[in-house]
């Protein structure tokens, strides 16, 4: 009577036994993330006896060889099949088309070849199809338009050629990923008329050409558009300005020409914009200064000219790139551009009387309009009511319930626990089903802990108004009740797979040893410094983090550092004198022993200098490999004093030995 087998992440080896087919009541078999192998696929043939089978997950094992057509004999009740991250070879059996009730088919990251069989179009219930990172060739089947329920299609990183079939415009897609193939021709207009496209539309690294259809303006709900590294030409289409929800726009590596259109001024939610390696000309539009969310902006290698703006993202040299535009001038000093020439007008100036006749009525009208706008905003703000189950986040954040997070984390399973702190625990979760897109980190607050609710509020208030590539990105928040009726609060962040800096510097007993090189440590130090510089000087309001330490520095796939955990953050009143800046909160200051600035023990005033002190301790820890509360520090000795006592010729004695051995090994190997 066994119905469910779930043995994922258990390091099992050997073959999957064929007598598993004796389990006539089995409807879910999950064996992901093991080291299981197969010789003759007899277990797959035996599973045809399991007529109730709905869920078969075998991803991240060592299954190899050619898939037999016996897969067509699996139960027609099968809804979810995942064999990704294996070593499957050969062509895809046409028998897949007989699994008529399947809704999610994932075969990503294998070595499958040949054409994608057109028989897949018979799977009318299909909602997600993931064939990315294989070696498929030839054209995308034109009958894929039959997937009227399909919401996610990923065929990226293959060798597909030919045109993109216009029939895809019949699908109800939210995600369409066709990047890193050999697709040619123009983009069909029908693709841009898919009203459901909201998460991602991408064709990067192909051979596509021609102009971008004006229908691109129909993608009013799209968050990310990526068409980089193709041969698209003409001007950047002005209808792009109608995609006002867009946050990520990548047009680099094409043949676009002409000026940057003023219509893009409507894309005020942009966080990343890349227009590099085109033939764009004219000045940099001033409206880009007002994009408060923009944290990455690349204009390099174009033909732009004139003065570089001096506000917004242009104040952060690490967030912009303008190299390869020889006629640009001005900007902040870090850009090292020549000063702009001072132009004197040769035109005859109008008389003072004429100026007054024109300007006075305009000034009066402007004052009336501003006053009216201020009054309207006041009453609108006063009458507005916040949603009951959500902290005041922008409408662009996704809404999740307690039940959604339970499902995403498999009931907050200990197997998904990736960290714990003073105010709560962090779990890895999946809010959708497409791992490349929907893997998140869920921070669940322990509301029994004193100060946890205040920490939740502080973190929401801080993260709702800051955006920077070296800060952990928040996706949403949930303030609700659990199934028992108790209060529940959680924050959902992007998942950063390389964990915390602390786990790299101080691995736990039994964990695989990972060593950061000197260059990696320098890069991380610069990343953290960039985040602090943004928080202190370039954000909407100066923010003091108050708890900077290695466990609050997280690393992404590329080992780029992101500062997180703003549960103790403080907002500062605007002031030009940092020594006079005060916290807007009078709550007792807390932090982590060893990282808190000494002056915090004498007063409840916080300043940016406190973060700088914590950053200094973090640097010493990174390059010595010792915690500030290391067991070897006794009789009043501290990490700072330990480093200070090392003379100039003894510095090598206190440097992290693991880093030195790694560095010496690299030098010897070269």
Q: Which sequence positions are flagged as catalytic?
A: 547
Judged by DSSP in three states, 89 sits in strand
**What are the strands of the beta sheet with 439-445, ordered from one edge?**
417-420, 424-430, 439-445, 487-494, 474-481
CB-side neighbour CA atoms (13 Å) of 355: 5
Q: What are the structure tokens assigned to 523, written together?
A: 């890069």
Ranges assigned E (strand) in 276-335: 279-282, 296-298, 303-308, 320-321, 327-330
Q: Nearest CA to 35 among 14, 19, 21, 17?
A: 14
- Rounded to 5°, the CA angle 135-139-144 comes to 105
The DSSP bridge partners found for residue 117 are none
Helix (H) or strand (E) holding 137: strand 135-138
How far is it, in rounded angstroms, from Cα 578 to Cα 574? 9
The DSSP bridge partners found for residue 491 are 443, 477
Quick check: 561 and 501 in contact, CB under 8 A? yes
DSSP assignment letter at 212: P
- Rounded to 5°, the CA angle 494-495-497 comes to 150
Q: Nearest CA to 155 among 170, 176, 185?
A: 176
Distances (CA, A) of 612 to 148, 353, 469, 619: 55, 55, 20, 10
Q: Nearest CA to 506 among 660, 641, 622, 427?
A: 622
> Measured in whole angstroms, how far is the alpha carbon of residue 407 from the centre of its chain?
21
> Measured in whole angstroms, how far is the alpha carbon of residue 186 from the centre of its chain?
29
CB atoms within 10 A of CB 92: 24
How far is it, in rounded angstroms, from Cα 186 to Cα 162? 10
Q: Nearest CA to 111 among 63, 178, 68?
A: 63
Q: What are the structure tokens assigned to 581, written together?
A: 């800046």
The dihedral through the CA atoms of 150, 154, 158, 163 has a sign that is positive
Ranges assigned E (strand) in 495-558: 543-544, 553-555
> Would you put residue 355 in left (φ > 0), alpha (ψ -120 to 50) or beta?
alpha
How far is it, in rounded angstroms, from Cα 179 to Cα 132? 9
């Amino acid at each position: 009577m066994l119905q469910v087998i779930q043995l994922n992440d258990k390091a099992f080896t050997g073959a999957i036994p064929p007598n598993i087919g004796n389990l006539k009541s089995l409807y879910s078999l999950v064996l992901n993330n093991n080291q299981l192998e197969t010789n003759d696929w007899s277990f797959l043939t035996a599973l045809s006896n399991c007529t109730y089978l709905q869920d078969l997950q075998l991803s991240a094992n060592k299954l190899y060889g050619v898939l037999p057509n016996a897969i067509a004999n699996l139960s027609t009740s099968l809804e979810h099949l995942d064999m990704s991250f294996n070593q499957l070879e050969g062509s895809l059996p046409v028998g897949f088309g007989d699994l008529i009730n399947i809704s999610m088919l994932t075969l990503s990251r294998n070595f499958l070849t040949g054409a994608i069989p057109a028989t897949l179009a018979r799977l009318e219930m299909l909602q997600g199809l993931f064939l990315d990172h294989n070696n498929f060739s030839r054209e995308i089947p034109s009958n894929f338009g039959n997937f009227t329920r399909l919401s996610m299609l990923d065929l990226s990183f293959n060798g597909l050629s030919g045109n993109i079939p216009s029939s895809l415009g019949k699908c109800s897609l939210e995600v369409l990923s066709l990047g890193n193939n050999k697709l040619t021709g123009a983009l069909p207009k029908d693709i841009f008329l898919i009203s459901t496209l909201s998460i991602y539309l991408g064709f990067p690294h192909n051979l596509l050409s021609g102009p971008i259809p004006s229908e691109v303006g129909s993608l009013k709900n799209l968050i990310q558009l990526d068409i980089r590294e193709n041969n698209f030409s003409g001007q950047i289409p002005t209808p792009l300005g109608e995609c006002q929800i867009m946050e990520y726009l990548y047009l680099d590596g094409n043949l676009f020409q002409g000026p940057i259109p003023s219509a893009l001024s409507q894309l005020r939610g942009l966080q990343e914009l890349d227009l590099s390696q085109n033939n764009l000309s004219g000045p940099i539009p001033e409206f880009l200064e007002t994009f408060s969310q923009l944290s990455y902006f690349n204009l390099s290698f174009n033909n732009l000219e004139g003065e570089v703006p001096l506000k917004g993202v242009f104040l952060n040299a690490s967030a912009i790139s303008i190299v390869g535009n020889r006629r640009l001038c001005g900007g902040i000093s870090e850009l090292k551009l020549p000063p702009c020439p001072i132009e004197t007008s040769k035109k005859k100036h109008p008389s003072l009387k004429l100026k007054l006749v024109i300007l006075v009525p305009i000034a009066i009208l402007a004052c009336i309009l501003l006053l009216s706008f201020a009054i309207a905003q006041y009453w609108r703000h006063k009458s507005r009511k916040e949603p009951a189950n959500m902290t005041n986040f922008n409408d662009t954040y996704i809404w999740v319930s307690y039940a959604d997070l339970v499902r995403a984390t498999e009931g907050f399973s200990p197997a998904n626990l990736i960290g714990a702190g003073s105010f709560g625990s962090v779990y890895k979760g999946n809010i959708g089903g497409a791992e490349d897109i929907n893997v998140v980190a869920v921070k669940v607050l322990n509301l029994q802990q004193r100060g946890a609710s205040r920490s939740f509020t502080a973190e929401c208030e801080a993260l709702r108004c800051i955006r920077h590539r070296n800060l952990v990105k928040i996706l949403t928040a949930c303030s609700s009740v659990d199934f028992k009726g108790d209060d529940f609060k959680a924050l959902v962040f992007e998942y950063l797979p390389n964990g915390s800096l602390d786990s790299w510097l101080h691995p736990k007993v039994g964990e695989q040893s990972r060593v950061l090189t000197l260059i990696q440590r320098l890069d991380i130090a610069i990343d953290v410094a960039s985040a602090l510089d943004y928080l202190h000087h370039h954000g909407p309001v100066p923010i003091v983090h108050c708890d900077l330490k290695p466990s609050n520095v997280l690393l992404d796939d590329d080992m780029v550092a992101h500062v997180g955990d703003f549960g103790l953050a403080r907002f500062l009143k605007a002031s030009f004198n940092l020594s006079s800046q005060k916290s807007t909160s009078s709550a007792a200051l807390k932090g982590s022993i060893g990282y808190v600035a000494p002056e915090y023990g004498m007063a409840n005033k916080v300043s940016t200098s406190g973060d700088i002190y914590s950053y200094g301790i973090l640097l010493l820890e990174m390059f010595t490999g010792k915690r500030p509360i290391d067991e070897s520090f006794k009789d009043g000795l501290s990490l700072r004093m330990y480093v200070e006592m090392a003379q100039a010729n003894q510095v090598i004695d206190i440097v992290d030995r693991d880093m030195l051995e790694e560095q010496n090994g690299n030098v010897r190997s070269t």
